[in-house]
Chains A and B, each alone.
Chain A
Amino acid sequence: MATGVRRLIPRRWSGPVAGEIPGGGAGAVVAGFLAVLILGTLAAVAWTARGLSGLGPWDLRAIWFTLWQAALSASLSAALAVPVARALARRSFAGRGALILLLGAPFILPVIVAIMGLVEIFGRQGLVNAALQAVGLPRFSIYGWQGVVLAHVFFNIPLAVRLILQGWQGIPGERIRLAESLGFSPRDIGRHLERPMLREVLPGVWLVIFMVCLTSFAVALTLGGGPRATTVELAIYQAFRFDFDLGRAATLGLVQVAISLGAILLAARVTLPPGFGAGMGGGAALRGPAGWRVGADVAAIALAAAFLIGPMAAVILPGLPALGALPADVWTAAARSLLMALGSAALTLVLSVALALALDRGRNRWIEIAGMLPLVASPLVLGTGIYLLVREWVRPETLALPVTVLINAIMALPFALRALIPAARTVQADYGRLAASLGLRRWARLRVLTLPRLARPLGFAGGLAAALAMGDLGVITLFADSDRTTLPMQLYLLMGRYRMQDAAGAAVLLMAISLALFWIFDRLGRRLGGSDDDA
């Protein structure tokens, strides 16, 4: 995952033998399937409602709130991630790899667990307010728009740090050595190397976080403080649940897609290539400057660690004692969720490899946008649409598990692609001609060349997909029957039956499995990819 978001730039070189890769056609099929699924379900909902309905003033307010909170959350996440990523990029210390892994964890944390943790730290009875009160400062309230933004920043800084860090690591070693031999000061390095890199990476980082925040649902529900902080996704839920107005739900779903497409186009316009030129790959790390910058880097890393790890620790501590006494049903649900998460991860990998290889062949802009579509789809519209489409042929509850596996696989696709596409392009650029001259074709080429070279991003993508699927409550609630619950569902059910202590235990279990899944996949990818260094 050398350059996280470079895929927003038009390709400059397209291999003469790209057509040899299996997956070219498959990629188009996958992209078509995504477009049909996401737009088709929207159409199914609208069709059942006999058309789209107009929006009321509260819907317009929800759209406005969604836009600005997503923009603010994305800007803050990206801005705060820059010093952290830079500190991590130019300093080396014991446990750096483990810290980077841990700092990535909030992104894959199930939303409900994360909210529990944030409330423990930033809530009325939380540590932060206790500290503020002790020194006589006014208290901070996590309930309101500021809570929504805080939670979004908590979720997304990890993603931003990871992507920006990769940007730093993607600066060719030749340029760094040249800068060193020219005696560049940290300021010169900033101007000539870091700023062009950020100019390329940041718009993509901002875009992906903006889109994640756009469809946010559970965060706004609990931390929003009231109807002032209603997001579009929440308005969709209310249209379904309270008014049973499918037409309005479909309209809002369409608005969500339109905003996202607008954001994609905008980000593509402001992204500039850094113009470093190619390097040999494998590089020199930046050498960290001495002086006050050491202190600044230490502070950036320490603050980020406290902000990101604190809430997780706050969930683990009270929940741990309840873990041993969890009812049997919770363990069964955990086993079921685990199997489903593995299924989703496998599916994500197959779909994303097909898409990444197809994209590699050049001007397939629509495939790229189709790959981003899952990020903008409303899970509620998607689930209901599938329900409406399949109910003629099958009993929806028999599809609860497969549909959930499929939707979770698709939801993880945009992130998987982000990891895979740059690597796939590098393989094509570096080895395309060699492979052609050796007569490596189709499956042989995939097996001998492509997959081994993609092992690391594949591991990362698989881990991300598995962990996200593990924590997703999502669409299963639309289909489920009581005999087949997932672990996140059990967590909600326990809370719904006053059993808060068991729920805390289930939250720890859920978090542990999610993190373990990510760690194992990521590790496996590195092992198979033949290198053991960080990120």
Chain B
Amino acid sequence: MAYRSPVALAVVLACSLSAQCGQATEGPEFTVYAPDYFASEWGPGPGIEAGFENTCGCDLQFMTGDVLPRILMEGERTRADVVIGLNTDQTARARETGLFAPHGQDVATLTLPIEWTDEIFLPFNWSETAFVYDETRLPDPPDSFQALLDAPDDLKIVIQDPRASVSGLALLLWVTAVFGEDAEQAWEKLAPKVLTVTKDWSESYGLFTRGEADMVLSYTTSPAYHIVAEDDRTKHAAIFPEGHYFMVELVARLKGSDQPDLAQQFMNYVLSPDFQGMIAEGNWSYPARLPADQLPQAFRDLPRPQKTFFYPEEQAEALRQPALDAWLRAFAG
């Protein structure tokens, strides 16, 4: 867009330094820590903020950044009432702090491919790790994880660093789940096909869309974006019969919140049809509680893996370091 008058531009300049412009929300402040992608204009954050403020009589404020490191630094003194966007690899350390309170929701009604019993951390959306490819560039993709390992080394993939990104860590657990004892050999076969290892998913995906790599470590739900937003049906997630690793994003309320009622109300809101209805095309993943027939058509049409792996917290925590060491040995040894 373009600013048509100098006055409009001046208003924008003045507003740009303050966050208060154009906000008229009244009521007590309710603080939600969230990853920046979640709260940005391009994520579900703004819709969720408006939806919750309609009923809560409060002023919901997203604070963005690395959610868990910040909570760990702040400890008891945190101002967060609720945190959103934690991942399963972080729950062990988050739980250890004792800062979180039970979510009080009925998890039996969740629409996840795995069983969920956690009383503290509540899923709000999920997907699975998958390698995404473009059929115009890769007409004959590997049809199993083993086939990917056996593919010629000029098939290039980009992945994320498990030490810096959640999806990279999920890949570690995925390979461990599929290959078990033979994980290290699997890495050795995969390593020559890895073009580069990026910090974030977004850099990997950028390299993939620019045509640098044939496949990218992403999610089973990624093709839905291209179908819905770009009407592009050439991007697919390669579905492997060995199974895919479960990725879930979680929300939790803080025990020490000075707005316990609002926090509880927010937890109820997370599983409401209003919130859940914003997830698919807001966060490009499956909502945690929404019957399949209520999903947008593009999501209903996505191929589903037959098998979804998930390591419970303690097991994942125990596997993390040995799996990382094996990965490091294969890639840098």
Residues of A at the B interface (CB closer than 8 Å) are 48, 58, 61, 116, 119-120, 123-125, 143, 147, 221-228, 230, 237-238, 240-242, 244, 324, 326-329, 331-333, 335-336, 339, 384, 387-388, 391, 395, 397, 401, 477-485, 489, 492-500, 503
Alpha-carbon separation in the docked complex, A222 to B203 (Å): 7
If A221-B198, A242-B162, A485-B36 are given as contacts, then 18 extra A-B residue pairs at C-beta distance below 8 Å, sorted by A number, are: A125-B211, A143-B196, A222-B207, A224-B197, A226-B196, A226-B332, A227-B327, A244-B93, A327-B41, A332-B15, A335-B9, A478-B66, A481-B62, A481-B64, A492-B200, A493-B41, A493-B42, A498-B222
A-B contact count (CB 8 A): 167
Alpha-carbon separation in the docked complex, A489 to B36 (Å): 9
Tell me if B318 is interfacial: C-beta within 8 Å of chain A. Answer: no
Closest to A397 in B: B63
**Contact: B202 with A492, CB < 8 Å?**
yes
Tell me if B124 is interfacial: C-beta within 8 Å of chain A. Answer: no
Contact with A along B154-182 (1 / 0, CB 8 A): 00100001111000000000000000000
Tell me if B122 is interfacial: C-beta within 8 Å of chain A. Answer: no
B37 in complex: contacting residue of A58, A244, A496, A503, CB < 8 Å: A496
Residues in B32-88 with C-beta less than 8 Å from chain A: 34, 36-37, 39-43, 45, 61-66, 68-69, 72-74, 77, 79
**Contact: B210 with A477, CB < 8 Å?**
no
Tell me if B229 is interfacial: C-beta within 8 Å of chain A. Answer: yes
Give the residues in chain B near A226, CB-CB below 8 Å: 191, 194, 196-197, 331-332
Which secondary structure characterizes the binding site on chain A? helix
Give the residues in chain A near B74, CB-CB below 8 Å: 391
Contact with A along B252-279 (1 / 0, CB 8 A): 0000000000000000000000000000
Tell me if B19 is interfacial: C-beta within 8 Å of chain A. Answer: yes
**Contact: B205 with A227, CB < 8 Å?**
no
**Contact: B229 with A498, CB < 8 Å?**
yes
A503 in complex: contacting residue of B43, B206, B284, CB < 8 Å: B206
13 example contacts (A-B, Cβ-Cβ < 8 A) are as follows A124-B195, A238-B163, A241-B69, A332-B16, A335-B9, A335-B13, A481-B62, A493-B37, A493-B42, A495-B203, A497-B37, A499-B42, A500-B209
Known: A226-B196, A495-B203, A498-B205. A119 touches B212 (CB 8 A): yes
Total interface residues in chain B, CB < 8 Å: 66
A478 in complex: contacting residue of B65, B213, B284, CB < 8 Å: B65
Contact with A along B1-38 (1 / 0, CB 8 A): 11100000100110111010000000000000010110
**Contact: B328 with A227, CB < 8 Å?**
yes
Tell me if B189 is interfacial: C-beta within 8 Å of chain A. Answer: no
Alpha-carbon separation in the docked complex, A336 to B17 (Å): 6
**Contact: B225 with A123, CB < 8 Å?**
no
Give the residues in chain B near A478, CB-CB below 8 Å: 65-66
**Contact: B40 with A483, CB < 8 Å?**
no
**Contact: A227 with B43, CB < 8 Å?**
no
**Contact: A124 with B156, CB < 8 Å?**
yes
Closest to B2 in A: A324
CB distance from A382 to the nearest CB of B (A): 15
**Contact: A225 with B72, CB < 8 Å?**
no
Q: Which 4 A-B pairs have the closest CB atoms?
A: A336-B16, A482-B39, A483-B19, A497-B42
Tell me if B304 is interfacial: C-beta within 8 Å of chain A. Answer: no
Tell me if B199 is interfacial: C-beta within 8 Å of chain A. Answer: yes
Contact with A along B210-249 (1 / 0, CB 8 A): 1111000000001001100100000000000000000000
Alpha-carbon separation in the docked complex, A391 to B70 (Å): 11
**Contact: B194 with A477, CB < 8 Å?**
no
Give the residues in chain B near A485, CB-CB below 8 Å: 36, 40
Tell me if B201 is interfacial: C-beta within 8 Å of chain A. Answer: yes
Known: A124-B212, A222-B198. A331 touches B61 (CB 8 A): no
Residues in B88-129 with C-beta less than 8 Å from chain A: 93
Known: A480-B65, A500-B206. A221 touches B12 (CB 8 A): no
**Contact: A493 with B212, CB < 8 Å?**
no
**Contact: A479 with B65, CB < 8 Å?**
yes
Give the residues in chain B near A237, CB-CB below 8 Å: 164, 199
Closest to A120 in B: B210
Give the residues in chain B near A503, CB-CB below 8 Å: 206
Give the residues in chain A near B68, CB-CB below 8 Å: 244
Give the residues in chain A near B16, CB-CB below 8 Å: 332-333, 335-336, 339
**Contact: B1 with A326, CB < 8 Å?**
yes
Give the residues in chain A near B328, CB-CB below 8 Å: 58, 227
CB distance from A272 to the nearest CB of B (A): 41
CB distance from B273 to the nearest CB of A (A): 23
A331 in complex: contacting residue of B3, B156, B162, CB < 8 Å: B3
Give the residues in chain A near B210, CB-CB below 8 Å: 119-120, 123, 125, 500
Alpha-carbon separation in the docked complex, A223 to B206 (Å): 13
Give the residues in chain A near B198, CB-CB below 8 Å: 221-222
**Contact: A493 with B36, CB < 8 Å?**
yes
Alpha-carbon separation in the docked complex, A230 to B331 (Å): 12
Give the residues in chain B near A147, CB-CB below 8 Å: 196
Give the residues in chain B near A401, CB-CB below 8 Å: 17
Alpha-carbon separation in the docked complex, A65 to B79 (Å): 40
Alpha-carbon separation in the docked complex, A494 to B39 (Å): 12
Alpha-carbon separation in the docked complex, A336 to B19 (Å): 11
Known: A244-B93, A493-B42. A119 touches B207 (CB 8 A): yes
**Contact: B332 with A228, CB < 8 Å?**
yes
Give the residues in chain A near B19, CB-CB below 8 Å: 481, 483-484
Alpha-carbon separation in the docked complex, A489 to B40 (Å): 10
Give the residues in chain B near A48, CB-CB below 8 Å: 73
**Contact: B42 with A222, CB < 8 Å?**
no
Give the residues in chain B near A483, CB-CB below 8 Å: 19
Closest to A486 in B: B16
Give the residues in chain B near A328, CB-CB below 8 Å: 1
CB distance from B4 to the nearest CB of A (A): 12
**Contact: B3 with A495, CB < 8 Å?**
no
Known: A482-B39, A495-B205. A331 touches B12 (CB 8 A): yes
